[in-house]
Amino acid sequence: MAVQLSTGRRGALWRDARVLAVAGQIVFVLAIVLLAALAYANMMRGLERLGLRLQLGFLSLEAGFGISEGIAYNPGDSYGRAFVVGVVNTLRVSVAGIILATVVGLLVGIGRLSSNWLIRFLSTVYVETFRNTPLLLQLIFWYTGVILKLPPVRQSLSVADRVYLNQRGVFLPRPVPSETFALWAWTLVACVAAAAAVYAWRRRVALREDRPGFPFAAAAGVLVAGAAISWFALPSAPLEWQVPVLQGFNFRGGIQLSPEFAALLLGLVLYTGAFIAEVVRGGIQSIPKGQWEAAQSLGLRPGMTMYLVILPQALRIIIPPVTSQYLNLVKNSSLSTAIGFPDMFNIGVTIMNQTGQSLPVFGLIMATYLSFSLVTALIMNWYNRRFRLVER
């Protein structure tokens, strides 16, 4: 922002913009270094007073605390292993949350633009309610006010005798491969190859004849049809549902979501879904009215207008903010600390309390979150380059 006035080479040294720029940076860097040195000296004194020394060796010590869920771990494992369990748990809830929040966000975002007044009204109420209250409050409400108030195991709520809800969490049927699964999987591989071929063909047709070839829709159709036909053609279904059954004091089989995981997932999905819905609505509305009108006057039906004209343009606007919502979801999963889900942050705090090594543990937590952000940023940069609007 500073002004660059060219004062000529013979001007006084302290009026030369280039000299001033270099000098200014040196002073700035010196100030930062000085501040850091001061903080470091203070920190060493503070740590000494607490009787601590900075080192990373503690990561290989025995953790000694239990973790309620996640990949294989026992209290005899190291702190490092415990942290990895936490990272995997964070990723687990984040991936599930991102997928579900996208579905919710898309549906509600489109619902807010529906021509049906009731759907529009309900979508608005949902979005405004969840966007205008704190996520932490929602999480605590879902956990203590809803999930923990579910009936005990023996009086579980059931949905069609497949899904069970009780104090111990949510129990879902799990797909289990049967003896025909291998055959079906190979058919599926063949279908994918066929779909790729169809995609390439339709795309070529579209480019050559300068008309919509619907390459993606055609490929998806081939894939779904192939998978469905082979599923029903096989003598027995390739995947069978293993339904959870009550045995003794708990359910066996199926997928079990702990109450903490279920509450966290529910809270994150409903909260982030509301934000994604607003992004989707804004993206669709940002496409100028002229685009709708032009498509209509070309004779496109509303569905085709959406698919061929509006969505390709809206997606370019929608995807960057949705990505930042995904990142928010990953970061917000750290709020599980309040309801006791053992994610990375929660386990990090436990390690910190046990070892007193607050600085290295914080460094580790921050570095992990930052690497998530970095990977996303790289993907986004690639995406933006790939789908940049070509200016003419």
Site membership for another protein, residue 140 (CB under 8 A): yes
CB of 304 to another protein, least distance (A): 11
CA triple 376-377-381, angle to 5 deg: 120
Nearer to another protein, 227 or 338 (CB): 338
CA end-to-end distance (rounded Å), the chain: 30
**Distance from C-alpha of 51 to C-alpha of 295, rounded to nearest angstrom:** 73
Site membership for another protein, residue 43 (CB under 8 A): yes
Q: Does residue 323 contact residue 377 with C-beta atoms inside 8 Å?
A: no
**Distance from C-alpha of 138 to C-alpha of 146, rounded to nearest angstrom:** 11
Q: Does residue 310 contact residue 291 with C-beta atoms inside 8 Å?
A: yes
Site membership for another protein, residue 263 (CB under 8 A): no
Complete edge-to-edge strand list for the sheet that includes strand 169-172: 157-159, 163-166, 169-172, 255-257
Local structure of 344: helix, strand or coil: helix
**Distance from C-alpha of 6 to C-alpha of 4, rounded to nearest angstrom:** 6
**Distance from C-alpha of 20 to C-alpha of 25, rounded to nearest angstrom:** 9
Nearer to another protein, 166 or 334 (CB): 334
Q: Which window, 72-80, 108-116, 222-230, 239-247, contacts another protein (CB under 8 A)?
A: 108-116
Total binding residues for another protein by CB under 8 A? 70
The residue written with tokens 């995904």 in the block is 326
356: left (phi over 0), alpha (psi -120 to 50) or beta: left
Site membership for another protein, residue 292 (CB under 8 A): yes
Site membership for another protein, residue 60 (CB under 8 A): no
Site membership for another protein, residue 307 (CB under 8 A): no
CB of 229 to another protein, least distance (A): 28
Site membership for another protein, residue 297 (CB under 8 A): no
**Distance from C-alpha of 295 to C-alpha of 306, rounded to nearest angstrom:** 9
Site membership for another protein, residue 135 (CB under 8 A): yes
CB of 301 to another protein, least distance (A): 10
CB of 373 to another protein, least distance (A): 4
Among 65, 201, 231, 369, binds another protein (CB under 8 A): 369
Nearer to another protein, 187 or 334 (CB): 334
Local structure of 3: helix, strand or coil: coil
Interface residue list for another protein (CB under 8 A): 1-4, 21, 24-25, 28-29, 32, 39, 42-43, 45-47, 49-50, 110, 113-119, 122, 128-129, 131-138, 140-141, 144-145, 284-285, 289, 292-293, 296, 302, 305-306, 327, 331-332, 334-335, 337-338, 345, 349, 352, 358-359, 362, 365-366, 369-370, 372-374
